[in-house]
Amino acid sequence: MSNKYLDVLTKKFNNKLNLSDKGNIVFINDVNSWLDIAQFIFSDKNLQFDYLMCITSYDLTETGKFGLAYNFHSTNLKHSLELRIEFEQNVEIQSIESIWKAANWHEREAFDMMGIIFSNHPDMKRILLPEDWKGHPLRKNYKTPEYYNGMPVPKDKSYWE
């Protein structure tokens, strides 16, 4: 392993992580260790990941799981890291909003669009869709409704491509 910060991370959480062969992507094996790992990468002097760039949710329908990709950057040490967690659909993920305030809206978007629940989030509610919207549109098995509150829901998405 060539990156010093990956050495620090794997030394601390060796049995809870898998390194990807695609660069600096680290998979977290133990979802229950997520909050400890998050606090460590924020506070450790060799890591200092002070900037949460984004959280991306994804649907692994073929395995019945969801995934979250967290992208971090250290503005002081000038290095970046992607951490991923893949988990069963009914598992709640610990919120990291208390560490990185930017997680607040990212986690709410993952909840709204994918249905992922973040435990200990201070305001876990929809952020993009109305509260009474049925389902989570980024799930691969999502069926767009014909109508919402009597209004037709557009199906033509050719202008997106």
Residue in the block written with tokens 């709204």: 112
The angle that helices 4-13 and 34-43 make with each other, rounded to 10 degrees, is: 140
**Alpha-carbon span 22 to 33, nearest angstrom:** 23
**Alpha-carbon span 63 to 72, nearest angstrom:** 26
**Alpha-carbon span 19 to 10, nearest angstrom:** 9
Structure tokens at 147: 């109508």
β-pairing verdict for 17-19 and 51-60: unpaired
Asked if 49 contacts 102 with a C-beta cutoff of 8 angstroms, the reply is no
- Please give the pLDDT value at position 114: 97
Whole-model pTM: value is 0.90
Asked if 71 contacts 24 with a C-beta cutoff of 8 angstroms, the reply is no
Choose among 83, 44, 84, 45: nearest CA to 67: 84
Task: Give per-residue pLDDT as tens, 138-151.
Answer: 999 998 888 888 88
- Please give the pLDDT value at position 37: 97
User: 49-52: long-range contacts at Cβ-Cβ below 8 A with a sequence spacing of 24 or more?
Assistant: 49/73, 49/74, 49/81, 50/74, 50/75, 50/76, 51/75, 51/100, 52/96, 52/100, 52/102, 52/103, 52/106
- Please give the pLDDT value at position 59: 97
- Please give the pLDDT value at position 4: 82
Mean pLDDT by groups of 10 residues along the chain of 161 residues = 77 90 86 97 96 97 92 95 95 98 98 97 95 93 88 73 61
- Please give the pLDDT value at position 1: 36
Reported CATH class of domain 4-160: alpha beta
Q: Write down the domain spans for the chain.
A: 4-160
- Please give the pLDDT value at position 118: 98
Sequence length of the chain is: 161
